[in-house]
Structure 1
Amino acid sequence: MKNGITLVLVGLGIILISWFVRSDFEVRTYENLQEAMDKSIPFKVNRVIHTTEYDGVTIVMYSTIPDDLAGAQENEALGLAYFKGNDEDGWENVGHHGWSHYHHDQLSLYSEPFREYDSKGRPLHDFHVAYGQIVNPEIIEVKARVDETYEKIDIITNEWKRYYLTIGEVTAIKGLSKDGEVLSKHGE
């Protein structure tokens, strides 16, 4: 009986070692941010739109063209990736992965929480990221409501397209014309 169990354990060990050696398994630390993005984001990054740092976490907004949107007229989806580190100590992908997409004529709003805990379950990071694309060229200002006040958000231009990204629990967002007219509003 012991010989049978030993044989099974040895067999499993050989299978695991073989899988590890032959798989695309990557170590979790990378030499630079570009390598971390290339090897740890599970989607093909079409382009990096914006990178910012908040609370020791580097947030990367990127576009991807998911398989189920390929060929669609509006096929760009937006995603976020979260990294910690530097080029001296290495980079680690600390976030979850996903992308968001819906058709919009004015501007889109995506809101994503980021939470990271230590090994004892204590929160290391707990914040929200609101982001989207501005489609209507008449929208020249974007404001986000956090609590009860609206605050102006910087507009990010990347390859002739416009986006925004802000940190905080955004409950509403509005796009304004040069005259201050609300052209688009999401949320309450």
Structure 2
Amino acid sequence: MKKGIQLLFMSIILLGITACSYPTMNEAIPYKVNQIIHTEKMKDISIVLYDTIAEIEEFNDQRKPVLGVAFLKGDSEDGWDNVGPNGWNHNENDQFTIYKEDFRDYDKEGNVITDLTIIYGEIHNPAIKKIETLATGETDQYKEAMMIEKDKKRYYFAIGAKDSIKALSDNGDIIHQEDWTKEE
């Protein structure tokens, strides 16, 4: 009888551990994914940039696609676990959207093992040819953000805490710039 209870208990634990995994990235994301735009692998975290339609009562006025970023662990063989925040708070202007998402992962002792900030968005102005970001603590070393084109839309993606973002024309003129300080 005691072995039966132990076996039942172990089965429940194993079921609980595996019940969190999903067979696809799309299913691991808690919103209906229109499309995955970009995936970036960092250590054991897959950072997934996707778009979705906000179908939550608080967002009744939001019917166009919004960008989201998900932080997933796993793979196609063993399944995917969503281990990060899920949202789409952003700043919008006529030039481009600015989304910022922070992610921290901890070990069993509570030590931070991964600390990421992701800056990303959609570019609206066709005159914008490059997005550059300034890392927190830097004064003038702007770095070029990754540009992604998908389905006739353009996006940018940068990893790391940033204090400034600027959009540049073909000849390097600043089309739009936003500066901020990291709030702690």
Q: Which residue pairs with 2:96 in the alignment?
A: 107
TM-score by length of 2: 0.77
Match of 2:172 among 173, 177, 180: 180
CA distance in 1, matches of 2:163, 2:90: 19
Shift of 1:66: 0.8
Q: Which residue pairs with 2:38 in the alignment?
A: 50
Shift of 1:102: 4.6
C-alpha deviations, 1:13-40, integer Å up to 9, x for none? xxxxxxxxxxxxx811234xxx2422x3
Contact 1:47 1:63 in 2 (8 A): yes
Match of 2:134 among 141, 145, 148: 145
Q: Which residue pairs with 2:122 in the alignment?
A: 133
SS of 2:96's partner is: coil
C-alpha deviations, 1:41-97, integer Å up to 9, x for none? 22111211111112321000111111355676x722111111112234332221121
SS of 1:29's partner is: coil
Higher Rg: 1
CA distance in 2, matches of 1:101, 1:66: 13
- Structure 2 matches for 1:77-92, cutoff 5 A? 77-92=66-81
Q: Which residue pairs with 2:50 in the alignment?
A: 62
Equivalent residue letter for 2:53: I
- Structure 2 matches for 1:153-172, cutoff 5 A? 153-172=145-164
CA RMSD of aligned residues (A): 2.2
C-alpha deviations, 1:95-129, integer Å up to 9, x for none? 12112345421012222111011232111211111
Aligned residues: 159
Q: Please list every run of 5 or more consecutive structure 2 residues that lacks an aligned counterpart in the other structure.
A: 1-17
Q: Which residue pairs with 1:123 in the alignment?
A: 112
